């Protein structure tokens, strides 16, 4: 009796496993598109696991939604893949996250078809050799919360329409060859934007006044050709924590600027900033400051971390003095 039961049980287990292994979650339409993408990339070794006889929800690089079984994530990372982004990718209508990262041989421009992926929340194209202008059609991806186009070969101006992405938390356009002024309409950025990285481009002109109303956490703009005044980014009740405008051409009086308590990085080296260091800097307990290579004068305020910082945070100014620089005369 017991033995029969055991046999029946093991047969049932075997059958259910057999059934499970054959229950394909993959949507046939999505599978067709993925195989098209594999072919467009010339059947690379990296996508060797994309076997048409298996469930595409199990394939490397992609993820399916638990309920709908549609492809929602596509993350191609550090792959030896050559060519352009296949427009077929836009035929995965349920994609929410799309990444091409560290693919040296990915070239060409961003295909206009991508504008159809309106469910996208995250789009990353970084460390590739993709070039051309940053397309203005990206503004049609209204659900984007994160757009990362850093470390590529993009050139031309920042499209004004990116300001229409009202749900963005983070925008990275750093390490490209972007030129021209930041258009005033770009000042109308998403109020939810916290991270804005534009470092290592060739952007010129001043930054939009309207950015003073935004609640940034990090604004990294180093190594551009930006001019003018950025003091409106600061103020007692601002949220900003990390600010890097080093190696630009800013020119403003720092003397009366108030800084928020949460400020932890303020790098302004290599600009044309004048006036003196405000006393308020001495109240910040956790500050990395670098104001070297400017036109500042007067005594370095005493307190906070200001004396612990290396003298190279202050050197090459007009007449800054006091510890860690030599005493004032
Ligand atoms: C890039 O393409 C070249 C020429 O096709 C090839 O030799 C090289 O291995 C590729 N590199 C990578 C990282 O894919
Ligand atoms: C990349 O793939 C190409 C062709 O598929 C191959 O010739 C080359 O050796 C590969 N490079 C690396 C770094 O794997
Ligand atoms: C772009 O391609 C060049 C060679 O063609 C390579 O040296 C460089 O690393 C590539 N850039 C990126 C970001 O992959
Ligand atoms: C944005 O996402 C919501 C659900 O999160 C969806 O209902 C809406 O259609 C999406 N917007 C666009 C423009 O597709
Ligand atoms: C990068 O862009 C420059 C023009 O800005 C172009 O001359 C160069 O060929 C591009 N490099 C690649 C790998 O596409
Ligand atoms: C910024 O934060 C303050 C206080 O946290 C809030 O009152 C204000 O509405 C926020 N501004 C934006 C543009 O979100
Ligand atoms: C700081 O916040 C108060 C109210 O929360 C507001 O009235 C004031 O305008 C703000 N000051 C600055 C400089 O933003
Ligand atoms: C401040 O910036 C200057 C210029 O880039 C650099 O030489 C120096 O090492 C920096 N100091 C610190 C403490 O980071």
81, 122 contact by CB (below 8 A): no
| pLDDT tens digit sequence for 196-238 | 999 999 999 999 998 998 899 999 999 999 999 999 999 999 9
Give residue 183's pLDDT.
79
| pLDDT tens digit sequence for 140-173 | 999 999 999 999 999 999 998 998 999 999 999 9
| pLDDT tens digit sequence for 277-311 | 999 999 999 999 999 999 999 999 999 999 999 99
**CA diameter of the chain:** 103
* Ligand 4 closest atom vs CA 143: 1
Which of 127, 129, 177 to mutate for ligand 3's pocket (most ligand atoms within 8 Å of CB)?
129
pLDDT exceeds 80 at position 23 = no
pLDDT exceeds 60 at position 21 = no
Give residue 244's pLDDT.
98
- Cα of 280 vs centre of ligand 4, distance in Å, is 45
- Average pLDDT (233-260) is 96
Q: What is the pTM of this model?
A: 0.89
Assess whether the C-beta atom of 129 lies below 6 angstroms from ligand 5.
yes
Q: Above pLDDT 70, what percent of the chain?
A: 93
Hunting for tokens 């993959």 — which residue is that? 26
304, 280 contact by CB (below 8 A): no
Assess whether the C-beta atom of 118 lies below 6 angstroms from ligand 8.
no
Give residue 4's pLDDT.
63
Give residue 14's pLDDT.
53
Mean pLDDT for all residues in the chain:
92
Nearest residue to 127 via CA among 101, 160, 99: 101
């Amino acid at each position: 009796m017991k033995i029969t039961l055991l046999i029946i049980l093991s047969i049932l287990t075997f059958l259910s496993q057999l059934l499970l292994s054959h229950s394909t979650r993959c949507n046939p339409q999505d599978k067709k598109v993925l195989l098209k993408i594999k072919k467009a990339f010339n059947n690379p070794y990296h996508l060797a696991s994309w076997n048409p006889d298996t469930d595409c929800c199990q394939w490397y690089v992609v993820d399916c939604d638990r309920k709908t079984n549609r492809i929602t994530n596509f993350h191609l990372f550090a792959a030896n893949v050559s060519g352009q982004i296949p427009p077929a990718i836009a035929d995965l209508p349920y994609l929410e996250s799309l990444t091409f990262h560290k693919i040296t041989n990915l070239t060409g421009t961003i295909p206009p078809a991508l504008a159809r992926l309106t469910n996208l929340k995250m789009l990353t194209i970084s460390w590739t050799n993709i070039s051309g202008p940053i397309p203005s059609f990206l503004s049609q991806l209204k659900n984007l919360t994160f757009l990362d186009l850093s470390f590529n070969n993009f050139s031309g101006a920042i499209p004004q329409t990116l300001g229409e992405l009202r749900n963005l938390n983070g925008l990275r356009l750093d390490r490209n060859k972007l030129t021209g002024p930041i258009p005033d309409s770009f000042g109308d950025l998403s109020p939810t934007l916290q991270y804005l990285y534009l470092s290592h481009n060739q952007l010129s002109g001043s930054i939009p006044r309207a950015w003073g109303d935004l609640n940034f956490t990090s604004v990294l703009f180093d190594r551009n050709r930006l001019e003018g005044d950025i003091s409106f980014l600061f103020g007692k009740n601002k949220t900003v924590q990390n600010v890097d405008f080093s190696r630009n051409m800013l020119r403003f009086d720092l003397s009366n600027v108030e800084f928020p308590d949460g400020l932890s990085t303020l790098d302004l080296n290599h600009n044309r900033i004048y006036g003196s260091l405000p006393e308020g800097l001495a109240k910040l307990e956790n500050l990395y400051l670098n104001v070297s290579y400017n036109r500042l004068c007067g005594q370095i305020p005493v307190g906070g971390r200001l004396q612990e910082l290396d003298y190279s945070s202050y050197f090459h100014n007009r007449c800054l003095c006091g510890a860690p620089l030599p005493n004032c005369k």
